[in-house]
Amino acid sequence: MSKFQWFLYAFLVVYIVISDSDAKLQRKSVVYRTIYVDPSSKGNFKTIQSAIDSVPSNNNNWICIYIKAGVYREAVKIPYDKPFIFLKGAGKWKTYVVWDNHESIATSATFTCDADNIIVKSMTFTNSYNRSPGGSGNPMRTALAAKISGDKSSFYRCGFLGLQDTLWDVQGRHYFKLCSIQGAVDFIFGSGQSIYERCTISVIASSLKGSVGFITAQSRTSPNETNGFVFKDCKIVGNGQTFLGRAWRDYARVIFYNTSMSGIVVSQGWSSWGVPNGDENQLTFGEYYCRGPGSNTAGRVKWANRLSDDLLNQLTSMSFIDDQGWMSKQVFNMLD
């Protein structure tokens, strides 16, 4: 066989392998089927949970559950054995899921997501126990809007509304884009490895009647853990006064990057609340390239804002959550 024939043979083999891989990825990336939720009985199901329950266990094809505009008064859970679900609402402020459980962070969430490879778009999850803040007649309690513990999950144009412990970003790699997150105390908390991009952080600390709020309570427990919260190109708005975060565990890590901060942010910025023996130097709390009246770092605690350029670049790049390319394998053509 001539050199040209060998070259042609090798080229065809590589082409077939790549084409086969692309075909498998394409099959994986398209919606296998769409289920419609409509309370008026014009869809496949009346409730979101019944639609999720219809997805077979150990599902490995993307299934879209389209949810008609409206208010759905139910607790919704995606169990760990039902990955590759795409929940798609009619709009952030058009499709609402509302529930009012409280007291336990393990069981009170309006939306619980334990599965890997989940996409949620254009809907809002509300825990109504303390809604409206100060006007519900209920004492402030732990009352989650969402609990996210699966890996490789993305949220686009979603709302998470609560007062205390609104969003439990438990664990796993997560991406939040153009989301609205509202609360007063520890309302973004957990050990997730997450990027929040162009999100609105809405503080309602005035409902605390003179007490100061906390946006984050991150719970990294070891310097070897890769998790942390990164807020990129976000904005902090609202009322009352708030800390950017406090340490729930010994090695908490939170970064605000290129974020607009209103004057509600207290001058200290951060609290070492959960750190034993006051060893704040093991915390990673930082603000870089931020703006607005709340971004003045002159009065910040001494142990904040000490990241090297290399670590800052590492934490604020998409590779922080996507070094394996899982986001590129998700169905971005469905998100338009």
Beta-carbon contacts of residue 66 (< 8 Å; ≥ 6 apart):
34, 35, 36, 37, 43, 88
Of 63, 126, 65, 118, nearest to 93 by C-alpha is 126
* Active-site position among 186, 250, 309, 322: 186
CA proximity to 31, closest of 115, 87, 92: 87
d(CA 231, CA 7): 50
CA distances from 178 to 3, 153, 157, 201, 236 (A): 55, 15, 5, 10, 13
Cα Rg of the chain (Å, integer) = 22
Is 186 catalytic? The answer is: yes
- Token pair 């603000």 in the structure block, residue: 287
Q: Is 201 in contact with 181 (CB distance < 8 Å)?
A: yes
Q: What is the torsion angle, in degrees rounded to the nearest 10, for the CA atoms of residue 131, residue 185, residue 77 and residue 335?
A: 90
How far apart are the C-alpha atoms of 140 and 143, rounded to whole Å? 8
Structure tokens at 280: 């704040």
Alpha-carbon 50 to chain mean position: 24
Complete DSSP assignment for 94-149: TEEEEE---S-TTT--SEEE-SSSEEEES-EEEE-TT-STTTSSPPP----SEEE-
What amino acid positions are annotated as catalytic residues?
A: 186
